[in-house]
Chains A and B, each alone.
Chain A
């Protein structure tokens, strides 16, 4: 028997999208497989690694712990909303400059988490950055350059303000 489909309408990176989804479809899979936005990565699928972190109504959340059907009427932002290869977002530019990534698998989730964090905390100290990063696992960098990149992005934003 075919699973029941639920109509949803949501805003994705500023664009309204409509779809029919089965209830059990995770938001992370909806984003990747139905919307084709493969910048959102899937790691653990139980809320531990943070790779799939997106903004849900502007607030960082695990896309693997939301069902797509729950986003009806809501707004989500993925890493594709940040910059383009030609015009990186200042946060992405800081990660590039500070070598804040190696394999890059965790990076989209970290960028979305840090985007919201820096909007709330424009002048964070290192301890605050590390605490804000605690929900995102990186197995390459040892975090040092990620912390440096976030601090640099904050400094650049303050200088530009």
Chain B
């Protein structure tokens, strides 16, 4: 349980860090929180020749939220920072709700949001949240920078759209329009464990109460976050309304649609059938909650 030998670099600027990554390519890994990378190194599942420690680069540490609710999460922003931020709670409640489920307090103190996303563990909550929120991922390298939609960023187990010289430097979340409601639910055997299934939901209703946008995204259901078009289709155009029986029927129909549109792999703790069952139940509950929340943030009819 000791990592193999590596060279350690501690650049003081982003430019220096990117130059090092360009030089070493796949042989090098960035080190931010290290809460996924270091266990993998201790197990010798990964054996980077070079670690490029980002922790001395002040410009990567920013968590910024505009008055309108546009959120920028820099590469050194740790989970605990996001978890405790009042503006995140106000403007990006889905992220605030889900981040509490990531591992344990000590791990959230150290682990970074961007590192979590770049690690691309299919069981992790945050990739599903970013797909549900249509986050933009800002990748930088010595060649320049580009923006990658979250839906295109996650390409498989521990696999992303990042090139070997790129760093995920920032995640950008746009403010949620009026009439948007969100919810995140998961089931794990113990708090902080990997979830057997998790569901992130975003719904948006217009001034008339009709659903104009819906995203239902699972974590742990495959090799990447899985957005269910079938489940969203049940919700789009529907009027969740305030009648509890109607909302329950709609939520259950959308949950059932999710369950039939995923093909979960099964885990040591949950068979594929059980995971599908969990997806259905969790989605129905999360959709009902998100719809109820959307109804409290209805856009005014004058807009």
Residues of chain A whose beta carbon lies under 8 Å from any beta carbon of chain B: 3-4, 6, 22-24, 26, 29, 45-47, 50, 53, 56, 59-62, 64-67, 69-70, 72, 113, 117, 131-132, 134-135
Contact = CB atoms under 8 A, between A and B. Distances in A.
Secondary structure class of chain A's binding surface, majority of residues = mixed
29 contacts: A4-B7, A22-B5, A23-B8, A24-B3, A24-B4, A24-B6, A26-B3, A29-B2, A46-B42, A47-B35, A47-B107, A60-B105, A60-B106, A61-B110, A62-B35, A62-B106, A65-B34, A65-B38, A65-B39, A66-B110, A70-B53, A72-B10, A113-B105, A117-B105, A132-B105, A134-B105, A135-B104, A135-B106, A135-B107
B1 interface: yes
Interface hub of A4, A6, A26, A61 (most chain B Cβ within 10 A): A61
A64 B42 contact: yes
Given A61-B106, A62-B110, A67-B8, A135 B3 contact: no
A72 B8 CA distance: 12
A61 B109 contact: yes
Q: Which of A50, A70, A132 has the most CB of B within 10 A?
A: A70
B51 interface: yes
B177 interface: no
A61 B110 CA distance: 7
Interface residues of B, number: 30
A135 B5 contact: no
A69 B109 contact: no
A28 to B, nearest CB: 10
Interface in B110-145: 110
A23 B109 contact: no
A3 B5 contact: yes
A135 B80 CA distance: 14
A132 B100 CA distance: 12
B303 interface: no
A47 to B, nearest CB: 5
Given A22-B5, A65-B38, A131 B191 contact: yes
B55 A70 contact: yes
